[in-house]
A = this chain, B = another copy of it.
Amino acid sequence: MAQLHHFPFLKSFLLVLTTLTCVSGKHFRTTKLGVRNRFTPKTADIQGTHNSEEYEVYNYTQTLDHFNFKTESYTTFQQRYVVNRRYWGGPTNNSPIFLYTGEETDIMGDVKYIGFVRVLASRFNALLVYIEHRYYGTSMPFGSKEEAYKNGNTLGFFSSEQALADYAQIIVDVKKDMSAQNCPVIAVGASYGGMLASWFRLKYPHIAYGALASSSPILYFLGLTPENGYDAIVSKDFKVSRNQKISSESFVTPLTVINATKPTFYAQSTSTSCYNTIRESWFEIDRVALQPHGLSKLSRMPLNTSQDLKGNLESRYDAMAQYDNPADNYLQSFCNAIDGAGEKTYIFDKILAGFAPIYGTSCYQVYDLKFNKHSGWDWQSCTEMVMPMGRGENDTMFQADPFDLDKYSKECEQVFGVTPRPYWAPIEFGGYDIIAWMLALQWLRTLIGWLHNEKPRSRL
């Protein structure tokens, strides 16, 4: 009976492999950070609007390695940053400067799409300075992405510590240029960029008066956070989303230091129907895959294993939860459609019915999820940003897949020729202590401000 339903499923869920390179078995998922990613539904709500006349784009001649004095460390590259003076109260008022610590993307995307910093700048009369992270966008050492990403030795200068030092160099220079030495700097960022904002505050407290980190998993490192943290929260989202309008904030809260916006409201009831449908689908995919020509029944394009399909589906579920803007309500749409398909509908058809309102009914791409040597975030995941993603047998809506550091490291070595340093980030950037520390500082700032009844100052 179940088999009869394969063809309708295949007809509409046409899978097109985007690469013919070998895709063998399970590959490691990196954390899916970023304010958008390739699985983000196209209908995602974009906050704010973009007016290119507001922005001035500059390049800063940046030092390649701030902490090393070898000859090549003195090499420079052009780092892009963008200034928006529209909301600024100016230096004579000591109006604040919001330093947007660019994350793993082209900074112009942030300038266009990140609305909350503009809203905040407008409210606090702040100067906006967006700085692009090295090795992203046009901020490429060695002249081009091709050269910069050539191998481990050209990528070697690509680290979060170097990025923070870049921000320090540029913001001090910008303050000087604008005679804004007395204007307090607040670091602001989202996702990995928010981690950077927090860490900028940690490492450069003499430059940053404060930091605002939106949806930033600063504790998602080995030994600090359970490896199933991400998947468990995504799964929980799918449990509570039936017929309930819910903000995406609810799932990021446990990973987040400070949320820029508050969730509108939460679901009050739960349903396991949506959750169970997804969970059962993995086993059905495996069952079909084991049939004669099973993989070709799952996709018109060749799959190496059923994992190619499962990994891509998983990434779409992740994206639906992670980017579930209140206006879009992906999870609600998905789960309502699953339920609407009726209990007796074949499981693949239920899933397809769920995807239809979000991703449409045409073919979906199947991406190669292996570490990609052209991906900056994959390089970072293979060096410092080792954020363990895994889960056990029954703790999520996904199949068991424990995090395996040895295998992870081997894949990094194969792709980048680099060995991760998984225990370094908690030493360099702190574990739970940083949270207590930040809360204490915030309290100190408030108290000092209250005692002195004056505006914050920074003299560097």
Contact = CB atoms under 8 A, between A and B. Distances in A.
A29 interface: no
Using C-beta atoms within 8 Å of the partner chain, give the interface range for chain A. Answer: 35 or more
A136 to B, nearest CB: 16
> Could you say how many copies of this chain the assembly holds?
2
Nearest to A444: B444
A172 to B, nearest CB: 5
A68 B159 contact: yes
Contacts of A69: 152, 155-156, 158-159, 383-384, 418, 421
Of A63, A156, A202, A458, chain B has the most CB atoms within 10 Å of the CB of A156
B434 A152 contact: no
A31 to B, nearest CB: 18
Contacts of A434: 206
Given A206-B434, A460-B431, A65 B68 contact: yes
A328 B156 CA distance: 52
A162 B67 contact: yes
Interface stretch (A79-87, A229-237, A280-288, A422-430): A422-430
A344 interface: no
Interface stretch (A43-51, A70-78, A104-112): A70-78
Contacts of A67: 65-68, 159, 161-162
Nearest to A420: B69
Q: Please indicate which of the listed interface residues A68, A162, A421 has the most CB atoms of chain B within 10 Å of its own CB.
A: A68
Interface string A152-184: 110111110110010011001000000000000
Contacts of A444: 440-441, 444
A221 B94 CA distance: 26
Contact of A66 (B156, B206, B207, B428): B428
A302 interface: no
A205 B201 CA distance: 11
B383 A206 contact: no
B168 A427 contact: yes
Contact of A202 (B74, B169, B205, B437): B205
A279 interface: no
Given A69-B383, A153-B71, A206 B448 contact: no
B74 A419 contact: yes
Interface in A415-460: 417-419, 421, 424, 426-434, 437, 440-441, 444, 448, 458-460
A168 B428 contact: yes
A441 B447 CA distance: 12
A203 interface: yes
Nearest to A205: B437
Interface of A: 63, 65-71, 73-74, 152-153, 155-159, 161-162, 165, 168-169, 172, 202-207, 383-384, 417-419, 421, 424, 426-434, 437, 440-441, 444, 448, 458-460
9 contacts: A65-B67, A66-B67, A67-B67, A68-B162, A69-B155, A74-B419, A168-B427, A203-B203, A444-B444
A-B pairs, top 10 by smallest CB distance, nearest first, are: A70-B156, A206-B430, A206-B433, A67-B161, A67-B67, A69-B383, A69-B156, A444-B444, A70-B153, A68-B156
